Amino acid sequence: MRDVLISPSILSADFAKLGEEIRAIDAAGADMIHIDVMDGHFVPNLTFGPPVIEKLRPHSDKPFDVHLMIAPVDPFIDDFAKAGADILTVHPEAGPHIHRTLQAIRAAGMKPGVAINPGTPADVVDPIIDDVDLILVMSVNPGFGGQSFIDSQLRKIEAFRKKIDESGRKIILEVDGGLNSETAPRAIDAGVTAIVAGSAVFKGGPSSYAGNIAALRGEMVS
């Protein structure tokens, strides 16, 4: 099984002590910190904004992997850059000019990513594959944590793996939604190089985080 990055989603963390939670998952072996930004409009939930990210930034040197589920996106790009986002991932449906948005993200000093919903075809990335550093396959419909993995997205992961390999570029292929010790290995076998997981990481409290992360990688937990 290939090496895979683990990006715990703080959507499943204890909101009363987010800084402490981020320090704990960092120490437990997380590779990135996944932050889901939802606006209650593009998706049916409200979460974090740039001020929260700015306050969390001092708690970890790991890359902040920020997934924007908001519309419009462009007016807020600089705010997320200033707050400390390292990767900024957007949905093609969130604005009329995805190419322009990706260019603006890179110009602001962040790595641009594109997120693909279960009902969005894989070929939507064909015109922009040279402009992204991350492709995020949503294996649930975005908006809430705790949903079940949609098996049909494995075929989409395989399609993206082929596109990335043919591009010759080092693009992170990430999956988010319903990932646990059973579904994560299937996604890794299909070609992903990064796993986003919320409850599968944060279950059991801080003493369990290292074992939970190891299990997602398919490693034996002592």
Q: Which residues are catalytic?
A: 36, 176
* CA dist., res. 80 & res. 111, Å (int): 12
Q: Is 205 marked as a binding-site residue?
A: no
Task: Tell whether 29 is in a known binding site.
Answer: no
Q: Tell me: is residue 91 an annotated ligand-binding position.
A: no
144 labeled binding residue: yes
CB 5 within 8 A of CB 32: yes
* Nearest in space to 80 (alpha carbons), one of 40, 107, 115: 107
Q: Is 78 marked within a binding site?
A: no
Burial tier of 33 (Cβ tally within 10 Å: 0-12, 13-18, 19+) = buried
Q: Is 143 annotated as a binding residue?
A: yes
Per-residue buried b or exposed e for 165-181, using 16+ beta carbons within 10 Å of the residue's own CB = eeeeeebbbbbbbbbbb
Residue 177 assigned to a binding site: yes
- Residues making up the annotated binding site are 9, 34, 36, 67, 143-146, 176-178, 198-199
Residue ranges at the known binding site for a divalent metal cation: 34, 36, 67, 176
Binding residue ranges for substrate: 9, 67, 143-146, 176-178, 198-199
